[in-house]
Structure 1
């Protein structure tokens, strides 16, 4: 079992100079993520096996039952993007024969392998002992792990997750996933790890998960306040980091989300806006819902475009990619395997378009948003397919303006700052005009 690790907020002297401003909870999550990289780097030396897996459908509680160190290729690519390392890795992968149209997470990861597998923190990442594909809604994931398996000749196990084509999870779908867990996934993990499965251990991890999930939802829903104390897109990527990666189910994550919730509740009491890298948001002028992932290579510049205009994202679909908790899902210690099945089946990108549209419309209403912004990611079909359809339908249902911008995950070649800034400025003007027209109509 994992033991509790005491988290203490870093002192001011520990924070990097100057410029970037973050909440204490943002520094804490960075510390946690970096510590996981250090533990990964020394895993084999310490006699631990390594499992590589993805964020959607992340079975962290189950993986921990077998004492695996956890590596997440998406997170590696994301972290490399934020550290300005992914551009070279992508070019290296393309020189090795991979197409420009392939997901840039994949090319960043493969390029990192070609360069000696030096991870985002400068430490060498270990060769995985197990590749666990627990969400198959993204076909690219399957091809990605095929390439990794060819390179390392490591054990691979796939959990096939049916798509929610009818917009609901049926009992037969749940049973199908549980059957795979019992007959394929768990026996493989036992064999590779040498650790016998203990369902009570899984239940204990899930009890911790529920506490963290409850607190995360309170944090995300705090954006219903005016002003919103958080940014539900740029800020939320820090908040979701521990729970969507290697920490969900640990006492450390429970403690982190308790600290985060209290920090945000204090901001609500003081009627403060979100902290951004440029400082505290002084005036909330626009409230937006955002669909699609952020651009990581120009993350701060991207966020500043919103800050400069007084725009706060009050809800986003990307912050639900590792769990749609705000619509009621919680891991259930009393039905642990069924709970894992529901978690995989309920991934945001495993939901059909009517479900996604309904979710966005609910956010627009409940968070009193001024409009919807879609950031369409060039190389991510899981998110980008159907987004124009979603945009038109949300506009039609809500009567609020929507806008469409394009960038990429971790390829700096596809972030056109001037183009995006122009589109955003035009969009905010459109919102102002809509307000003016509505004000005139109300006056009459």
Structure 2
């Protein structure tokens, strides 16, 4: 490992931090500016459409992640459980509900204003609907639901697309017009989609750079930063275009220097012993500690399913300004959380082959049925197809009670030993 203590924060990370801070400032100052605010979710979010109406985009699960990384989500979860929410309920929900009962304070230290609208794009998670029922009871504001058909047969049909477009025309767009007081302008939507497609091109290039040896990125722990702008409130903005251009230049520099990825402590991991594909979200309350366990073993994640929850761009989808409503429909139907299990297995197996990974690691999330259901079957099927070993660890999203560092570390060490045994038996070779 080449240590370079001057590498603390890359320019792209500093830019992203500034973008996020500016967005929270805009949300919390809505009473002064008169801007409208919508609460929505990451999978299938319609950011370009929000911007067409001048509506700000606030994402409850991102707020829970922020509080998890700040190690304050545990108290919020306990508060929600005191009010009757079960231990088995998604901890994103409880972190959000608990935050509301403790003043609803945003990351900038100011209180979140009540949203003017709730926008639910249902994409494979029933909990989202129940979550928004609770928010609707709290805020008494208009609630718009875009029902997204499940991609049960592994493809988007014309009937599915037409069903979503009909809702966009008859429910979503009129609802946004009413909330915002702004008339729908399809040319403005096309303009934002052009910016989206540019950013998406660069994001895909960045993710595919992990095919290099050594990999200049970590596609799971590092990947959650890379997907941040495009999966949240910035897709379609010039900020996102500039961010991904900057990120691409930084990664190209590491490729040119034959360097690995930047670790949590600012060093560069070039001596990479294990290349992994990871399924499932990360744990946020112990994010750095979790990542450091991989770094200490010389492990890099070269592809992950979690970096596709807001769009499977590496399989060719781009927002299309020439067909804006059709493009929105294809987007919300095609995000990872709306794909059936056989399609997910296909994707994970392809990643192992395409990125020359040593195996599949699954992080099963205790409170997330949407991701965790079927994961053991998926692991066994990927093992059967690829001949590469799989492993299973368990944590949670933002509940610190369900992160056992010793348990995770022991399982990881056992898994890396399994990979070594596979190599000695004629399996995958060290990168």
TM over 0.5: yes
Q: Which residue of 1 aligns with 2:312?
A: 324
The separation in 2 between residues aligned to 1:399 and 1:383, in whole angstroms, is 23
Match of 2:342 among 337, 354, 357: 354
- CA deviation map 1:50-76 (0-9, x unaligned): 111000001000011111111000100
1:273 positional shift:
0.3
1:146 positional shift:
0.5
1:136 positional shift:
3.8
The separation in 2 between residues aligned to 1:20 and 1:186, in whole angstroms, is 46
Q: How many residues align?
A: 424
Q: Which residue of 2 aligns with 1:88?
A: 75
Q: Which residue of 1 aligns with 2:92?
A: 105
User: For the Cα contact (< 8 Å) 1:112–1:119, is it kept in 2?
Assistant: no
Q: Which residue of 2 aligns with 1:240?
A: 227
2:258 is the alignment partner of 1:271? yes
2:406 is the alignment partner of 1:418? yes
The separation in 2 between residues aligned to 1:306 and 1:28, in whole angstroms, is 26
User: For the Cα contact (< 8 Å) 1:203–1:334, is it kept in 2?
Assistant: yes
Q: Which residue of 1 aligns with 2:392?
A: 404
- CA deviation map 1:80-136 (0-9, x unaligned): 100111000000000011000000000000001001110123221111000000124
User: For the Cα contact (< 8 Å) 2:388–2:428, is it kept in 1?
Assistant: no
Q: Which residue of 2 aligns with 1:338?
A: 326
The separation in 2 between residues aligned to 1:95 and 1:62, in whole angstroms, is 38
User: For the Cα contact (< 8 Å) 2:123–2:332, is it kept in 1?
Assistant: no
Alignment of 1:235-314 (within 5 A): 235-278=222-265, 279-314=267-302
User: For the Cα contact (< 8 Å) 1:20–1:277, is it kept in 2?
Assistant: no
| SS of alignment partner, residue 166 of structure 1 | coil
The separation in 2 between residues aligned to 1:440 and 1:103, in whole angstroms, is 37
1:207 positional shift:
0.2
Alignment of 1:13-412 (within 5 A): 21-278=8-265, 279-412=267-400
The separation in 1 between residues aligned to 2:216 and 2:427, in whole angstroms, is 27
The separation in 2 between residues aligned to 1:361 and 1:27, in whole angstroms, is 35
The separation in 2 between residues aligned to 1:308 and 1:124, in whole angstroms, is 39
1:439 positional shift:
7.0
The separation in 2 between residues aligned to 1:302 and 1:55, in whole angstroms, is 23
| SS of alignment partner, residue 425 of structure 2 | helix
User: For the Cα contact (< 8 Å) 2:202–2:245, is it kept in 1?
Assistant: yes
1:21 positional shift:
3.6
Question: 5+ residue gaps in structure 2?
Answer: none
1:43 positional shift:
1.6
Question: 5+ residue gaps in structure 1?
Answer: 1-17
Runs of 4+ in structure 1 displaced over 6 angstroms?
none
- CA deviation map 1:332-384 (0-9, x unaligned): 00000010000000010111111000000110001000010000000111110
Q: Which residue of 2 aligns with 1:10?
A: none
User: For the Cα contact (< 8 Å) 1:53–1:72, is it kept in 2?
Assistant: yes
2:419 is the alignment partner of 1:436? no
| SS of alignment partner, residue 356 of structure 2 | coil
The separation in 1 between residues aligned to 2:397 and 2:386, in whole angstroms, is 29
| SS of alignment partner, residue 159 of structure 1 | strand
- CA deviation map 1:278-304 (0-9, x unaligned): 321141000000000000000000000
CA separation of 1:427 and 1:22: change in aligned 2, threshold 3 A: farther
Q: State the TM-score, normalized to the length of structure 1.
A: 0.94
Q: State the TM-score, normalized to the length of structure 2.
A: 0.97
| SS of alignment partner, residue 374 of structure 1 | strand
1:22 positional shift:
3.7
